[in-house]
Structures are given as C-alpha cells and as structure tokens.
Amino acid sequence: MNTMTLDAGHAAPAQPESLEKETVDSQTKVRETVGQPFCDDAKLRMRGVNVFYGEAQAIHEVSLDIGRNEVVAMIGPSGCGKSTFLRCLNRMNDTIDSCRVEGEVTLDDEPIYGPKVDVVPLRARVGMVFQKPNPFPKSIYDNVAYGPKIHGIASRRAELDDIVENSLRRAGLWNEVKERLDKPGTGLSGGQQQRLCIARAIAVSPEVILMDEPCSALDPIATARIEELIDELRENYTIAIVTHSMQQAARVSQRTAYFHLGHLVEVNDTETVFTNPQHELTEAYITGRFG
Ligand SMILES: Nc1ncnc2c1ncn2[C@@H]1O[C@H](COP(=O)(O)OP(=O)(O)OP(=O)(O)O)[C@@H](O)[C@H]1O
Ligand SMILES: [Mg+2]
C-alpha cells in the first residue's frame, strides 16, 4: 500500500488552518492504513482512490472493502472526507462539477467508474439516505412508489401497493402511516420522515445502502428506532454509514473506519477500534483529544 505522510507540507490543502489543532503532534505519520481494510467477501471494493475538488485533494489513496451483509461505520473529525468517501461508492460525486475521482471502485467485482456504466441503475443498486430527511413533496405512497415506477420495477397498481407496503414495513413505519398513505410525506415527524426515506431507498431493492449521518437530525427515540432498523437491514443489505456519534458506530457496525484529513488511518472490527485502537490518531480521536 502507499506510503502516506501527514505533515504541514501537504496535508489537506483545503483546511490548512485546522491542521495544527487536529494533528496530535507534528511528527505523527500516517504511513499506511492500519488494521483490516480488506475482506474475503467484498461487496464493494475500493483501491487507491483519490478525490479532488479542483486542485484540493479531499481523499488520499484510500483502499477499503465493504463486505456483504456488513455494516461499516465511517468516523472522523469534520471535513476529514467521510461524505466525499461515501459519495464515491455510488458516483454521487459526479454531480459536483469540480470533483474528480481517481482509482478503482468495484461493485460485485465490476468497475463502477467507466464510460459504459449507467449511473441511474447503479444508484438504484447503491442507494443513499442523507443527513436531513428529504421526502419528495408528494404523498407518503408516492414517495415510496416513485423509484419502482421510474426504474420500471413495477407499473401495475397492485404490484406497487405491495412494494409500498413491504418497504414501509421493513422501514418500521407501516403501522404509523397505513391510514394516511395519501397524505404528504413532509407532514411526518423528523424520525418518521427519515424512515420514509429509508423505505424509499429500499423500495427499489438496492444491494447497498449508504447513509450519511442519518440520525443527526433525530431525537434519541427516533435514533434508536433507526439503529434497530440498520441492524435488521443488515441481513439483506450491505451498509456503509457515516456517523459523528462514536456510540452509534459502536452499536450498529461490525467494522469501523477512522478518517483523518482525507487519509484512511485505521480500519478494524469495531470493538478493536474503540477499545484498542492501533494508531495514535485514532486513539486521540476516540479519547476526545481532538475532533
Ligand atoms: N462540493 C465541494 N466543493 C469543494 N470542496 C468540498 C466540497 N465538498 C467537500 N469539500 C471539501 O472536501 C473535504 C472533505 O469534506 P467532506 O464533506 O467529505 O467531509 P466530512 O468528513 O463529511 O465532514 P462533516 O463531518 O463536516 O460532514 C473538506 O475539506 C471540504 O471542504
Ligand atoms: Mg459529511
């Protein structure tokens, strides 16, 4: 793997002023990712990925597998590249003009970057749930039915009804909304809206779900419900979740990846990361010395 050095000379040109605060000491080196970045049964595989916004490099030589039926949590200080990393996995970075992705990303061993890849079916296979619940200004029913309709998964009303009900059931929302499916999705509570967005994501039968801080706008009860749901969804899906909450990472994930200034510093089984971190930057972050 590549040798990486974090020093004041080249790390994170986008945020030079934060370097001093975030670097434990100026001699700290990130030579290579420590821990277990690879797995035998990888659903998604990333090798030597670099991401740039214009001239500024946001991700440096990241190599990581995300295993089938696994939840991997991405943690690290604000601006370290967690969202950028997540967006590489379904080419959402394509929607940002200045953004350029280099390196290899595969889904079931097929490259997802390449001129022949159609991003619309790719994003149906690799769905995304955002930080702030973003239901469409449509009914609860239509929020969930929209994807299956546009992807041609179902067109007959009875088929759509089944998909809507099943998706809402799997998202743990059916009982709360079954009497008001024709009401606007935006009229639900924040936690319900986020479960609606999860139902919308699973309605197209994705294989992977990317979640970018899905609970940060939710109260503890709604958060607990989503965390239970993530645990249930793992049986059928591969999940990559960005979280600012180390407790959440510890509760929902099997492996945790720690990012620092665009470098993947350490990835290991979650318990090891939180109880016996191998890199001093990880240790500094989890013990609250910075971040
Ligand atoms: N659209 C963009 N245009 C230019 N630079 C960007 C853009 N999005 C992110 N960046 C920069 O890339 C780096 C990584 O940002 P990113 O949003 O991936 O971090 P993050 O770890 O998700 O942070 P947070 O925890 O605050 O959400 C930062 O330096 C950020 O300023
Ligand atoms: Mg982010």
Mean pLDDT along residues 256-267:
97
Q: What is the DSSP string of 2-18?
A: ------TTTS-TT-GGG
Lowest mean pLDDT among 9-13, 91-95, 105-109: 9-13
Q: pTM for the whole thing?
A: 0.89
Residue ID of nearest Cα to ligand 1 atom 5: 53
- State pLDDT tens for residues 50-75: 999 999 999 999 999 999 999 999 99
Report pLDDT for 8. 38
Report pLDDT for 103. 97
| Chain centroid, CA 120 distance in Å | 18
Report pLDDT for 22. 41
- State pLDDT tens for residues 201-237: 999 999 999 999 999 888 898 899 899 999 999 999 9
Q: Where are the domains of the chain?
A: 16-135+203-286
- State pLDDT tens for residues 94-104: 999 999 999 99
**pLDDT band, residue 10 (cuts 50/70/90):** very low
Ligand nearest to the CA of 212: 2
Residue ID of nearest Cα to ligand 1 atom 24: 78
User: Distance from the CA of 49 to the center of ligand 2, in angstroms?
Assistant: 18
Report pLDDT for 11. 41
Residues with Cβ within 6 A of ligand 1? 14-15, 53, 58, 76, 78-84, 96, 98
User: Distance from the CA of 84 to the center of ligand 2, in angstroms?
Assistant: 7
Coil, helix or strand at residue 115: coil
Ligand 1: which of 10, 82, 99 to mutate, judged by most atoms within 8 Å of the beta carbon?
82
Class of domain 16-135+203-286: alpha beta
Q: Residue 200 above 90 pLDDT?
A: yes
User: Distance from the CA of 174 to the center of ligand 1, in angstroms?
Assistant: 35
How far is 40 from 72, CA to CA, in rounded Å? Answer: 15
Lowest mean pLDDT among 21-25, 126-130, 172-176, 281-285: 21-25
Residue ID of nearest Cα to ligand 1 atom 12: 58
Mean pLDDT across the chain, nearest whole number?
89
Report pLDDT for 193. 96
Report pLDDT for 63. 97
Calculate what percentage of the chain has a pLDDT beyond 90: 80
Among 55, 49, 46, CA closest to 12: 55
* Cα distances (angstroms) measured from residue 68 to each of 31, 97, 103, 107: 28, 31, 21, 11
In a 13 Å sphere around the CA of 118, the CA atoms on its Cβ side amount to 4
Ligand nearest to the CA of 211: 2
Q: Residue 6 above 70 pLDDT?
A: no
For the chain, the residue count is 291
Q: Residue 2 above 70 pLDDT?
A: no
How far is 119 from 110, CA to CA, in rounded Å? Answer: 13
Residue ID of nearest Cα to ligand 1 atom 7: 53
Report pLDDT for 117. 95
User: Distance from the CA of 218 to the center of ligand 1, in angstroms?
Assistant: 22
- State pLDDT tens for residues 106-126: 999 999 998 889 999 999 999
